[in-house]
Amino acid sequence: MDTELLAPAGDLEKLRTALYFGADAVYCGGPSLHLRAAPTSFDMETLEEGVREAHGRGKKLYVTVNALARNDELHGLREYFGVLGRLGIDGAIVSDLGVFAAAREAAPNLPLHVSTQASCTNYMAARQWFSLGAKRIILARELSLDEIREIRDRTPPELELEAFVHGAMCMAYSGRCMLSAFLTGRDSNRGDCSQPCRWSYRLIEEKRPYESYPVIESGEGMTILSSRDLCAIHFLDRLREAGISSFKIEGRMKSPYYVATVVNAYRRALDGTASPEELDREINSASHREFSTGFFFGRMKKEPPSRDGYVQDCIFAAVVRGRRADGLYRVEQRNRFYSGDTLELLSPKSLGESFRLEYIEDEEGKEIFDVPHPMQAAYIRCPLELAEGDILRKRLKSGGSGGEA
């Protein structure tokens, strides 16, 4: 198959965003066993709409059914896969062998992808999954390029190989972590991780329980358990040469802005339409932790991050929703912006364009000087050619920190 850029879709808006910015396929969770919290799942109605929109653009949609099932979750599973097959989804992502068997029985023509949760780290396991009917293996994140290459060389060419190339990495092997369940009762293996590996901790001495001391690795903070984020944007060619045919971006719980920024950057990297410096500028524009090349070049280095927590160079100002007859663009606010701001355009059609915002109008036609309310509709004058789905952002002067915008 041709190289596929596979993007996360936590809801319909993110699905549309990913497709607009250049994803070849999206993956999402349905109503059952999808390993993400409820707000990032689709019901059957929205799933059907998502399939229709993806196929209408000539793109693919995969559904995750990759939790390890308990006995009481097996009831109705065959019926569920039968419905997924009738919807025309392009593949189901599974990790549990029993779930895999149920899918084969209920929907024999439904392509099955073996989840990274199955921890496929060798060619014999990949061959066995293929013999059972798997079309694709989503490889364990702990593999090096050399190990991937050997798996490719020793497996049937019809078996597709997929790998994560960007996004958060769990500190535990293949994401099998019990910290969240132990500390908060929220089970990461059931899609409800509270990410305690990214909390700050303090040390208490047994005989002085009322005195606590910060555990410090650097002058900027402590993240002793927390992994950096994966970024493979500068060696996609080496991954392709090793045998990867689908490049997967993590982030079903991320914002539409994150999806747009990262998908746009990787699309340009694959198409060769941006320089390495431009690619760096783009991926740094979305919220992330310090980047790492993961295990692709061997064991990860044990290095503390040089900056504390999440960082980003831009904030999401608005999304373009259309154009009025008089030339003003309708936008939907996502973070407060002001008349006089310099806004950048994030678009699949252009790169690096910006403009000074000189005029804003509210829905009653009155000139206003800022747009303060979340999701507020406004009209702006812009000298650039904007299209529905384009994003406007504000660049922070020296980079910023904090959660996702």
CATH of the domain at 119: 3.20.20.60
Report residue 258 as tokens.
């994150």
89 burial (CB, 10 Å; 0-12 / 13-18 / 19+) is buried
In-domain check, residue 88: yes
To the nearest 10°, report the CA torsion of 191, 194, 195, 201: -160
Out of 264, 292, 320, a domain closes at 292
327 touches 381 (CB < 8 A) = yes
- pLDDT above 90 coverage of the chain, percent: 71
Between 317 and 226, name the one with better pLDDT: 317
Please report whether residue 272 resides in a domain: yes
Q: Which of 235, 263, 292 is the last residue of a domain?
A: 292
Q: In whole angstroms, what is the distance from residue 226 CA to residue 356 CA?
A: 39
CA 25 to CA 19: how far, in whole Å?
7
One domain for residues 367 and 238: no
> In terms of domains, do 199 and 348 share one?
no
Provide the 8-state DSSP code for 352: S
State how far the Cα of 213 lies from the Cα of 262, in Å rounded to an integer.
38
pLDDT of residue 189: 64
**Which residue, among 73, 66, 126, 74, has the nearest Cα to 91 in the 3D structure?**
66
80 located within any domain: yes
Neighbours of 371 (CB within 10 A): 24
With CA atoms as reference, report the closest residue to 106 among 146, 65, 68: 65
pLDDT tens-digit series, residues 98-147: 999 999 999 999 999 999 989 999 999 999 999 999 999 999 999 999 99
Same domain, 191 and 233: no
Given a cut of 80, whether residue 336 has pLDDT beyond it is: yes
Average of per-residue pLDDT across 203-225: 63
Structural domain count, the chain: 3
Mean pLDDT (the chain) is 89
Cα–Cα dist 53/42, whole Å: 14
Distance CA 47, CA 61 (A): 9
d(CA 361, CA 35): 43
Q: Are 322 and 365 contained in the same domain?
A: yes
* Predicted local confidence at residue 152, as pLDDT: 98
Residue 53: the pLDDT is 97
Task: State pLDDT tens for residues 296-328.
Answer: 998 766 655 545 578 889 999 999 999 999 999
Does residue 297 form part of some domain?
no
How far apart are the C-alpha atoms of 33 and 81, rounded to whole Å? 12
pLDDT surpassing 90 at residue 290: no
Q: With a cut of 80, say whether residue 172 has pLDDT above it.
A: no
Whether residue 186 is predicted with pLDDT greater than 60 in this model: the reply is: yes
Task: Classify residue 305: in a domain, yes or no.
Answer: no
Q: For residue 214, what pLDDT is reported?
A: 60
Q: Is residue 222, in this structure, part of any structural domain at all?
A: no
Helices 44-56 & 77-87 angle (0-180, nearest 10): 30
pLDDT band at 381 (very low <50, low <70, confident <90, very high): very high
Do 185 and 144 have their domain in common? no
- Please state which of the ranges 19-23, 184-188, 300-304 shows the lowest mean pLDDT: 300-304
Question: At 335, which CATH number?
Answer: 2.40.30.10
Q: Which one is predicted more confidently, 245 or 205? A: 245
Residue 302, pLDDT score: 61
Mean pLDDT value of segment 223-239: 85
Residue 203's pLDDT band, with cuts at 50, 70 and 90, is confident
Q: Are residues 319 and 360 in the same domain?
A: yes
Same domain for 253 and 335, yes or no, is no
Tell me the longest C-alpha to C-alpha distance in the chain. Answer: 74
Distances (CA, A) of 295 to 117, 268, 317, 353: 16, 24, 35, 35
The verdict on 131 and 264 lying in the same domain is yes
For residues 95 and 206, membership in a common domain is answered with no
* 233 located within any domain: yes
DSSP 8-state secondary structure symbol assigned to residue 288: B
Q: Are residues 154 and 267 in the same domain?
A: yes
pLDDT of residue 38: 53
What are the φ and ψ backbone dihedral angles of 96, each rounded to 5 degrees? -85, 130
| Per-residue pLDDT, 116 | 92
Average pLDDT for 380-402: 86
pLDDT of residue 250: 94
Q: For tokens 């049937």, name the residue.
A: 156
The candidate with the shortest Cα–Cα distance to 136, out of 84, 50, 23, 60, is 60
Which candidate, 311, 293, 316, places its Cα nearest to that of 303? 293
Question: 158 and 27, same structural domain?
Answer: yes
The CA angle 121-123-126, to the nearest 5 degrees, is 80
Going by the DSSP 8-state scheme, the letter that residue 187 receives in this structure is: -
**Is 338 inside any structural domain?**
yes
C-alpha distance across the termini of the chain, in Å: 35
| 44 and 138 both lie in a single domain | yes
Q: Is the pLDDT of residue 346 over 90?
A: yes
* CA-based nearest residue to 295, from 169, 114, 126, 124: 169
Nearest partner of 74 among 47, 44, 106, judged by Cα: 106
Domain holding 195, by residue range, is 174-214
* 169 φ/ψ sector (left φ>0, alpha ψ -120 to 50, else beta): beta
CA dist 285 → 190, 262, 307 (Å): 31, 9, 15
